[in-house]
Amino acid sequence: MRNSPFWWILIGFMILLDLYVFQAVKVLTQTTGHKGRLIIHACYWAISALAIIILIILPYLQFAQQHRLVRNTFFAIIVGLFFSKIIASIFFLVDDLRRGIQWIAGKLFFQGTEGETMEQGVRISRSAFLSWAGMLVGGGLFSSLIYGFTNKYRYQVHRFKFSFENLPAGFRGLKIVQISDIHSGSFTDKHAVMRGVDKVLKEKPDLVLFTGDLINNLAEEMDNYMDVFNQVKSPMGVYSILGNHDYGDYVSWPDRNQQHDKKEKEAGRHLLTPLQQANLDRLKTIHAELGWKLLLDEHVPLERNGYKIALIGVQNWSSKARFPKYGDLHKAYKGSESYPFKILMSHDPSHWDAQVKPLFPDIDLMLAGHTHGMQFGVDIPGFRWSPVQYIYKEWAGLYEERKQKLYVNRGYGFIGYPGRVGILPEITVIELI
């Protein structure tokens, strides 16, 4: 991507954006003293130039695993600056359009009258009000993104009681803890991560379910966190599934070459390379070493007080075209028909609308993750919003249709942006009643 035309178009757009925003900076500093104005202008261009330089060279820099947070932090700051300027520019553009229309109207309809010169005496530019409004809104967005760096380990416990008419009597009162999207490759504070695990253990759950994305890309990302997550235990066990990141699809594997591409074309489907498969096999072993039972398109019976229900776990399956469909719910479901109550673990919530509701109406509860709530939004009682809702219809919390329920966990970890704004990391506690 870094050598593609799009990459350099993006860099060019950022430079043009900086020039545009700078016009507002000049307006707002025109009453400032000469020395103060020079300092402000110099700081603006120093920050803008540094951001562009870092963005250009960042893809060429190699970071060790433990230092990738530095890369991600730099990238998040640059992206934050970019979007803050975009938001601010909307205000500037509105005022520019207003003034442009006013100027054209003066020339066309009031030529030779006072109307033609009603904006003269001051240069056609942005009003101070909209310039300040744009700067404040853009600055507020950027400040919130910086503040979000401090929230990435602020684990929140969300508690629910789910009622089902067909739940066997022996399972009433069952306490389930769901965690999802650990993304161990993003962590840098082991003690903070352990505080989240302590919260899980404090709940004394009967059953723990992990709904995918243990890593970002490589199985080795778990090496430093084995002694943290192997403490997650419960009397009825810990069950897990794979998420889209667990397959290593976002790594440039050296053996993904023309020969492999030819095999994929002949097979008519996505294939893992040998190195990628070895990475996945190691990750499967890690689940076992943690003491977690990894469900790979299969179901297992859960027994309590003489009653049984089915727990179904599928590999990653998404209705979004950009994600390979690894899971097979038909295979996982087969043989579970006789159980009176069924829980499905499926990483991607789009699975619910695409297959679960129309094809498996007797799956009572589906648990998912994946979206992280985009790690940005508003999440308060009575109101939730995140940009991710324009991509995923079900993106955080509880969704119900007829007798079926879907719960989407907001994620334990983080990826990309090393922080959270409004959408905090989640530990879900569900009691079946």
Looking at the structure, tell me whether residues 293 and 415 fall in a common domain.
yes
CA distance 180 to 171: 23
Per-residue confidence band for 121, with pLDDT thresholds at 50, 70 and 90: very low
145 and 157 both lie in a single domain = no
In a shared domain, residues 312 and 406: yes
CB-based contact 315:298 (threshold 8 Å): no
Q: Which residues contact 158 (CB under 8 A, 6 or more apart)?
A: 397, 426, 427, 428, 429
CA–CA gap between residue 118 and residue 282 (Å, rounded): 73
pLDDT in tens, 375-430: 999 999 989 999 999 999 999 999 999 999 999 999 999 998 899 999 999 999 99
Domain tally, the chain: 2
Q: Are residues 167 and 142 in the same domain?
A: no
Q: Of 371, 302, 304, 306, whose CA–CA distance to 343 is shortest?
A: 302
SS3 of residue 341 by DSSP: coil
Query: Which domain CATH number covers 187?
Result: 3.60.21.10
pLDDT at 138 over 90: no
Q: Which residues of 241-270 are buried (b: 16+ CB within 10 A; e: fewer)?
A: bbbbbbbbbeeebeebeeebeeeeeeeeee
Is 309 in a helix, a strand, or coil?
Answer: strand
CA dihedral sign of residues 2, 182, 210, 344: negative
Same domain, 96 and 206: no
Q: Outline where 166-209 has alpha helix (H).
A: 190-202
Tokens coding 236: 């009825």
pLDDT over threshold 60, residue 119: no
- Cα–Cα distances in angstroms (integers) from residue 236 to residues 78, 136, 264, 290, in the given order: 46, 52, 40, 15
Q: Are residues 47 and 131 in the same domain?
A: yes
Instruction: Name the domain boundary from 114, 149, 184.
Output: 149
Who contacts 101 (Cβ-Cβ below 8 Å, separation ≥6)? none
The full DSSP string for 34-76 is HHHHHHHHHHHHHHHHHHHHHHHHGGG----GGGHHHHHHHHH
Tell me the per-residue pLDDT of 23-42, one tens digit each, with 9 for 90 and over: 888 878 888 888 988 998 99
Residue 255 sits in the same domain as residue 124:
no
| pLDDT one-digit tens code per residue, 289-317 | 999 999 999 999 999 999 999 999 999 99
Domain boundary among 132, 149, 166: 149
Whether residues 309 and 427 share a domain: the answer is yes
Last residue of a domain, one of 149, 167, 198: 149
272 and 242 housed in the same domain? yes
Q: Do residues 123 and 195 share a domain?
A: no
Do 28 and 140 belong together in one domain?
A: yes
Q: Which long-range contacts (CB under 8 A, 24 or more apart) does 6-12 make?
A: 11/52, 11/55, 11/56
Residue 124 confidence class, pLDDT cut points 50, 70, 90: very low
**Judgement on whether residues 212 and 339 belong to the same structural domain of the protein:** yes
Binned at pLDDT 50, 70 and 90, residue 122 comes out as: very low
- Exposed, middle or buried, 373 (CB in 10 Å: 0-12/13-18/19+)? buried
Containing domain of residue 43, as a range? 5-149
Amino acid 13: pLDDT: 85
At 147, the amino acid letter reads: Y
pLDDT tops 60 at residue 15: yes
